[in-house]
Structure 1
Amino acid sequence: MKNILVVFIIIIIIIGVFLALGKSDQMVVVKEGNTKQLPLKIKKGHYQDSDCGMIIDDLNFVSQVVSPKGNTYFFHDHGGMAKWLKDKPFAKDARIWVKSLDTKKYINGRVAYFSRDDKTPMGYGFGAYEFKKDGFIDFDEMQLKMLRGETMNNPVIRKKLEGKD
Structure 2
Amino acid sequence: MRKMIPYSAVIVLVLIIVTLFLSLASTKKMVVIIEGNTNQIPIEMKIGVFQDSDCGMVINDLRDASQVISKNAKSWFFHDHGGMIKWLEDKEFKSDAKIWVMSRDTKKWIDARTAYYSLIDDTPMGYGFGAYEFKKDLHVDFDTMRLRMLRGETLKNPRIKKQLLGN
CA RMSD of aligned residues (A): 1.8
Q: How many correspondences in the alignment?
A: 164
Aligned to 1:137: 140
Tell me the CA shift for residue 18 of structure 1: 4.7
Query: Structure 2 length normalisation: TM-score?
Result: 0.88
Q: 2: CA distance between counterparts of 1:111 and 1:59? A: 19
Aligned to 2:37: 34
Query: Structure 1 length normalisation: TM-score?
Result: 0.89
In the alignment, does 2:111 pair up with 1:108? Answer: yes
Q: 2: CA distance between counterparts of 1:7 and 1:50? A: 31
In the alignment, does 2:72 pair up with 1:75? Answer: no
1:90-119, Cα deviation, whole Å (9 max, x unpaired): 111111000011111100101111110001
Cα pair distance change 1:135/1:44, threshold 3 Å: same
Moved over 4 A (4+): 1-4
Tell me the CA shift for residue 11 of structure 1: 4.7
Cα pair distance change 1:147/1:6, threshold 3 Å: farther
User: Structure 2 regions of 5+ residues with no counterpart?
Assistant: none
1:119-147, Cα deviation, whole Å (9 max, x unpaired): 11111100001111221111121111111
Tell me the CA shift for residue 31 of structure 1: 1.2
The structure whose Rg is larger is 2
Q: 2: CA distance between counterparts of 1:17 and 1:70? A: 33
Q: 1: CA distance between counterparts of 2:133 and 2:39? A: 22
Say which SS state the counterpart of residue 64 (structure 1) adopts. strand
CA contact (8 A) 1:21 1:27 kept: no
Aligned to 2:150: 147
In the alignment, does 2:65 pair up with 1:62? Answer: yes
Residue identity (%): 57
Paired AA for residue 119 in structure 1: D
